[in-house]
A and B are shown apart, each in its own frame.
Chain A
Amino acid sequence: MKRWLFIAAVLANLGFAQTEKLKACFIYVGPVGDYGWTNAHDEGRRLAEKALPWLETKFVESVPEAQAGPFIDKFVQEGCKVIFTTSFGFMDGTLEAAKKYPDVIFAHASGFKRAPNMATYMADFYQIYYLNGLVAGALTKSGKIGYVGAFPIPELKRHISAFALGIREVNPQASVNVKWINAWYDPAKASEATEALIAEGNDIFAFTEDSPSVIQTAAKKKLMSFSHYSPMHKFAPDYVVSGQLVHWDKIYIDFLTKVHNGTYTNKNLEKVDYWWLLGEKAVEMGGQAGMPINPKYIPALKAKMVKDRLTGKTVSVYDLVMSRWKAMAQAKPTFDPFTGPIKDRNGVVRVAPGKIMSIGELNSMEWAAPGIVGAWPNEPK
């Protein structure tokens, strides 16, 4: 009986799907069960569906990059009105599809190409990396902090530089040592890169890779780490200090609501580019929701006193983190880590005194902040 119901459901899905609801469809690059990027997007999709009664969603996971087009074709055939593509590699495929289906609305995550019916969106972590940096700088004993990076792209360079700026603010001698694994998901490489960093004397770790491998590898050696993308606190409750969390649902709900009420149409998306940060609550600091810093490490942070370079007062690192966090977590932030004067690691001035980096500059950032050690492809001279 159950089986027949299932068959009927599948048939209904294939043939006569009803389209009264707004149908939004998602194309993912990885498996929804990964511990990072795709899982976070799927979480956002589910929360949006829960929050918006008029919304109906569908997704397809682990789509190879060249397959974006054919899957978009299938989704359009099934009556999807809004299609989200969630990988940089889908950019050209999405743009082509936007031209092919002018009546369908597209939104592409992390890219830079738009069209009248194609918007872009991104929830960015650079502020949080800066906050994590303050914490890491205060807790390191060896003065060497390890970073396992996926690919040397501006997004990661921005994050690692923000991390380094935070570290150097409380610990001017400390360094961030970077290893690239050239993969978004490769637990073996991630743990081996961590081991290499451990061997080189690093004692705290942050990373970009869609699995908790770095955390687990570090914890085996009783070393601290920062969680990335998903709540990874539970994989090493004693060693995960903090981390970065994303809430894609904030963007999805906003975007879909505006499509539903007619604010966004297939004609006016050319300039719609979401760049959501702490202020919009699209991102959060912590290794799990609601816990910005692991309580286990709060005493150490409260004990360490530094001079706040903005006010000149001597405060604990804990208070410094909280005051910086407050300054950034509002609609109009009163603080930005990338405020000049900032020199790169080769001594070249990259941000003039008093200037704040623009979104465009952040998105094409190639230089490395002082304190970063390691290969840095495309580094400007």
Chain B
Amino acid sequence: MVRLEFDPNPPGNRVWLVMGLAVLAAIALSSLIFWSYGVPPVTAYLTLFKGTLANPAGIAESFRRAIPLLLIGAGLSLAFRSQFFNIGAEGQLLLGASAATGVALFIPLPAELKLVTMFLAGFLAGGAYALIAALLKSRLGVNEILSTLMLNYIAVYIVQFLVNGPWKGRSLMGFAYTEQFPAAATLPVIGGTLIHWPTLLLGVLLALFLQLILNRSTIGYELRVVGENLEAARYAGINIGRTVLMVAMLSGGLAGLAGVGEAAGIHKRLLDPAQISLGYGFTAIIVAWLARGNPALTIFTALLMGLIFAGGDVMKLNLQMPFRVVDVFSGLLLMFLIGSEPLARYRLKFGRRA
């Protein structure tokens, strides 16, 4: 006889196995959807493979898309670890991009200080924006998922106001863009691609650094305790409020950095919010979830999701499928990932009931 038995502390390998099954299930169901759209799944996946992994330009595109996902994902994995559900990365990214634009266009600085200041300003702006939600949560108990979600929309309108109003560039014939950044305020790219490598490097270093903090420092320890058991954290005298604020500052700040990278590395100006970020803030939730709260692992999971973004472009070009396929796959993946989470806490038991 086979039956399920509850196991509150599942061993690591079973968790990974269940996760792998969730990914497979998402792929299988996506195939079905491709089929119903009129594209044979084999064709879809073959096209995807040829356009991304088997093509240098496709690989470059995957890396380029992975940069914001990595920065945001690394921060979010920390936030989720401490049970601070920051859903507002999209807004924090936009604020980071705005702050960077402000520095790039309106603050006179020596050329060599320009980019550093932009990154700093982006970090602070994104962090401060997340801090609003964190303060409301730690002081008053306001649900951070709802507040960060609302803050996303407010950020969209802030950027729209800026590019349609005071920051609109004079040389752009009235179109809603700011002026282009001066050369000193733009990031170098790897020749022939759009990979702004300083941001990529920053992302990798920060992901590793956050992992180190999480595993090896008192702060990291406190953060994990707060996330795993609030009662225990209180008992151990951990300052929960302070921990929440710090996590918010870090995860918001990293999203802000991602915004700086997109503004200074890709667009070289501030523009319509829907063009600045293609939903990186939401996809990064999957990145963090796949990495199971380990910042260092987001280096790989961000690349995976970057690959899916690049694959969306390939399918659009070669199969005339709307880019929304990316949302279909992301949605299914996220749904299966969180749905399978509790399943991992059961084990198959053979034999009679004890």
Q: Do chains A and B touch in the complex (CB under 8 A)?
A: yes
**A–B complex contacts, Cβ < 8 Å, 22 sampled:** A6-B43, A7-B42, A10-B318, A13-B318, A14-B47, A61-B316, A61-B320, A62-B322, A66-B266, A70-B61, A70-B313, A74-B313, A74-B317, A77-B57, A88-B175, A89-B177, A89-B275, A100-B192, A151-B164, A151-B175, A152-B174, A366-B174
- Within the complex, the shortest CB–CB distance from B168 to chain A, in Å, comes to 8
Residues of A contacting B322 with CB < 8 Å?
A: 31, 62
Let me know if A112 is at the binding interface, CB within 8 A: yes
Interface-centre pick from B51, B57, B173, B319 (highest chain A CB count, 10 A): B173
Interface-centre pick from B174, B268, B271, B322 (highest chain A CB count, 10 A): B174
Let me know if A92 is at the binding interface, CB within 8 A: yes
Pair B57/A70 contact, Cβ less than 8 Å: yes
How many chain B residues touch A (Cβ–Cβ < 8 Å)? 35
- Within the complex, the shortest CB–CB distance from B354 to chain A, in Å, comes to 52
Let me know if B305 is at the binding interface, CB within 8 A: no
Let me know if B31 is at the binding interface, CB within 8 A: no
How many chain A residues touch B (Cβ–Cβ < 8 Å)? 38
- Within the complex, the shortest CB–CB distance from A76 to chain B, in Å, comes to 10
Pair A154/B174 contact, Cβ less than 8 Å: yes
Residues of B contacting A100 with CB < 8 Å?
A: 192
Pair A71/B317 contact, Cβ less than 8 Å: yes
| Bound Cα distance from A6 to B46, whole angstroms | 13
Let me know if B180 is at the binding interface, CB within 8 A: yes
Pair A10/B319 contact, Cβ less than 8 Å: yes
Interface-centre pick from A6, A7, A66, A378 (highest chain B CB count, 10 A): A66
* Chain A residues near B (Cβ < 8 Å): 3, 6-7, 10-11, 13-14, 31, 60-62, 64-67, 69-71, 73-74, 77, 88-89, 92, 100, 112, 151-155, 157, 182, 363-364, 366, 377-378
Known contacts A65-B271, A67-B313, A70-B313; 15 further A-B pairs (Cβ under 8 A): A10-B43, A10-B46, A14-B47, A14-B50, A14-B51, A60-B317, A62-B322, A66-B266, A69-B194, A74-B314, A88-B175, A112-B173, A151-B174, A151-B175, A153-B175
Q: Report the 6 A-B pairs with minimum CB-CB distance, sorted nearest first.
A: A153-B174, A65-B275, A60-B317, A66-B266, A7-B43, A3-B40
| Bound Cα distance from A112 to B180, whole angstroms | 15
Pair A157/B266 contact, Cβ less than 8 Å: no
Pair B194/A70 contact, Cβ less than 8 Å: yes
Q: Which of A10, A31, A66 is close to B47, meaning CB atoms less than 8 Å apart?
A: A10
| Bound Cα distance from A121 to B61, whole angstroms | 30
Q: DSSP majority for the B interface? A: helix
- Within the complex, the shortest CB–CB distance from A189 to chain B, in Å, comes to 12
Pair A182/B57 contact, Cβ less than 8 Å: no
Residues of B contacting A10 with CB < 8 Å?
A: 43, 46-47, 318-319
Instruction: Encode B259-281 as 1/0 by CB contact (under 8 A) with A.
Output: 00000001110010001001000
Let me know if B160 is at the binding interface, CB within 8 A: yes
Pair B316/A62 contact, Cβ less than 8 Å: yes
Let me know if B225 is at the binding interface, CB within 8 A: no
| Bound Cα distance from A61 to B323, whole angstroms | 9
- Within the complex, the shortest CB–CB distance from B190 to chain A, in Å, comes to 13
8 A Cβ contacts from B320-342 to A: 320, 322-323
Residues of B contacting A3 with CB < 8 Å?
A: 40
Pair B317/A73 contact, Cβ less than 8 Å: no
| Bound Cα distance from A31 to B176, whole angstroms | 21
Pair B42/A74 contact, Cβ less than 8 Å: no
Pair A363/B319 contact, Cβ less than 8 Å: no
| Bound Cα distance from A73 to B177, whole angstroms | 24
| Bound Cα distance from A102 to B139, whole angstroms | 60
Residues of B contacting A364 with CB < 8 Å?
A: 173
Residues of A contacting B180 with CB < 8 Å?
A: 92
For A153, the closest partner residue in chain B by CB is: B174
* Chain B residues near A (Cβ < 8 Å): 40, 42-43, 46-47, 50-51, 57, 61, 160, 164, 168, 173-177, 180, 192, 194, 266-268, 271, 275, 278, 313-314, 316-320, 322-323
- Within the complex, the shortest CB–CB distance from B191 to chain A, in Å, comes to 10
Pair A66/B176 contact, Cβ less than 8 Å: no
Pair A74/B57 contact, Cβ less than 8 Å: yes
| Bound Cα distance from A6 to B268, whole angstroms | 41
| Bound Cα distance from A64 to B280, whole angstroms | 14
| Bound Cα distance from A65 to B271, whole angstroms | 10
For B64, the closest partner residue in chain A by CB is: A70
- Given A14-B47, A92-B180, the answer on whether A182 and B164 have CB atoms closer than 8 Å is yes
For B50, the closest partner residue in chain A by CB is: A14
For B324, the closest partner residue in chain A by CB is: A62
- Within the complex, the shortest CB–CB distance from A49 to chain B, in Å, comes to 16
Pair A60/B316 contact, Cβ less than 8 Å: yes
Pair A378/B174 contact, Cβ less than 8 Å: yes
Pair B319/A66 contact, Cβ less than 8 Å: no
| Bound Cα distance from A305 to B42, whole angstroms | 68
| Bound Cα distance from A74 to B315, whole angstroms | 12
For A364, the closest partner residue in chain B by CB is: B173
Pair B318/A66 contact, Cβ less than 8 Å: no
Residues of B contacting A70 with CB < 8 Å?
A: 57, 61, 194, 313
Pair A14/B174 contact, Cβ less than 8 Å: no
- Within the complex, the shortest CB–CB distance from B45 to chain A, in Å, comes to 11
Pair B47/A363 contact, Cβ less than 8 Å: no
| Bound Cα distance from A31 to B42, whole angstroms | 26
Pair B278/A64 contact, Cβ less than 8 Å: yes
| Bound Cα distance from A7 to B278, whole angstroms | 30
| Bound Cα distance from A124 to B40, whole angstroms | 43
For A14, the closest partner residue in chain B by CB is: B50
Residues of A contacting B177 with CB < 8 Å?
A: 89
| Bound Cα distance from A378 to B168, whole angstroms | 10
Residues of B contacting A377 with CB < 8 Å?
A: 164, 168, 174
- Within the complex, the shortest CB–CB distance from A378 to chain B, in Å, comes to 6
